[in-house]
Amino acid sequence: MTSTISAWERPAYFVDEQVSGPFRHWRHEHRFDAAPHAGATLMTDIVDLSAPAGLLGRLIDRLVLRRHMTHLINVRNRHLKTTLER
């Protein structure tokens, strides 16, 4: 997938959007807010995506794709947390 940063307001958020790749549509917003305890940051991912292939793609989207992408983002976030807290 090739994406571009389509919006950026440092340090609050940035958005990457697919320019070319496997999805019909992909928009991933990364938000950063102060967490309740001092010195911590809460990162929130907001992903808007849709699969290609019309009706079949929408079915795959509902049955598999969203759950799979949620899992991948959660794995990535755990890795980021572990790496950044070292």
**Surface-to-core class of residue 51, CB atoms within 10 Å of its CB (0-12 exposed, 13-18 middle, 19+ buried):** buried
Contact 45, 29 (CB under 8 A): yes
Domain count, the chain: 1
Q: Report strand pairing: 25-34 vs 41-50.
A: antiparallel
Q: Is the pLDDT of residue 46 over 90?
A: yes
Dist CA 36 CA 52 (whole Å): 40
Q: Which domain holds residue 42?
A: 2-84
Q: Is the pLDDT of residue 47 over 90?
A: yes
Tens of pLDDT along 58-75?
888 888 898 999 999 999
Tens of pLDDT along 29-42?
999 999 888 888 99
Looking at residue 57, what is its pLDDT? 85
